[in-house]
Amino acid sequence: MKREGIVEWYKEEEGYGRILLKGEEGVHVFVHFSSILLDKDRFPDHFRYLRQKQKVSFDLIETSMTGDQKYVAENVMIISD
């Protein structure tokens, strides 16, 4: 199921970050650069990254981990900057 959220932070040099899930106060979603869909206009050099406060849509995947890593984002698309 597609969900939306706001990029809380993203470490470009490490290739991962965290998205705050829209409508779910305090629920954070882990995101890895490999889960960001390639947009050739936005990423002409194929280096995918996110910026803080960007609005994104993604598939929400529940993991078997506990704590902050309970959810991960897949098929991440940037909606707006």
The CATH code belonging to domain 2-80 is 2.40.50.140
- Higher-confidence residue of 2 and 81: namely 2
Residue whose tokens read 């882990």:
30
pTM of the model: 0.88
Domain extent listing, the chain = 2-80
Mean pLDDT taken over the chain: 91
For range 49-70, the mean pLDDT: 88
Q: Note whether 8 and 55 are within 8 A (CB).
A: no
Q: What is the pLDDT of residue 69?
A: 75
- Higher-confidence residue of 44 and 51: namely 51
